[in-house]
Amino acid sequence: MNVGVCKVRLRLPENHSLKGKRRVLSSITTRVKNNYNVSIAEVGDQDVWQSVTLGVVCVSNSARQASEILLKVVNFIRQSKFAIEMLDYEIEIVPSL
């Protein structure tokens, strides 16, 4: 068993309220969950309305497959129709003991 962990930092340059941020995040997280069967949540910058840190996690039998799934999620977020900028992302694969 391998656990894939991804941290994604986004900027919402056209956002002007926490309510607007929540609307965008709700849409992104719902679409990612439905399309890729991963867990996703806002893990940082909760009080900043133009900055988002998302955590994405998946479990797989193969480290390669976990990495591929997380890269697909990153590309999906990057190519989304929302007015967001991806600042950076980190992927880490944790193998089972």
pLDDT in tens, 10-39: 999 888 888 888 888 899 999 999 999 999
Residue with tokens 């976990």: 66
* Per-residue confidence (pLDDT) for residue 97, from 0 to 100: 61
Length of the chain measured in residues: 97
> For residue 67, what are the domain limits?
2-95
pTM over 0.85: yes
* Per-residue confidence (pLDDT) for residue 20, from 0 to 100: 84
pLDDT in tens, 49-95: 888 999 999 999 999 999 999 999 999 999 888 888 999 999 999 98
For the chain, the domain total comes to: 1
CA-closest candidate to residue 6, choices 57, 60, 79, 43: 57
Residue with tokens 């656990």: 3
Write the CATH number for 18. 3.30.70.1120
Q: Are strands 2-11 and 85-95 parallel, antiparallel or unpaired?
A: antiparallel
Query: Alpha helix locations (H) across 1-97?
Result: 18-36, 63-78
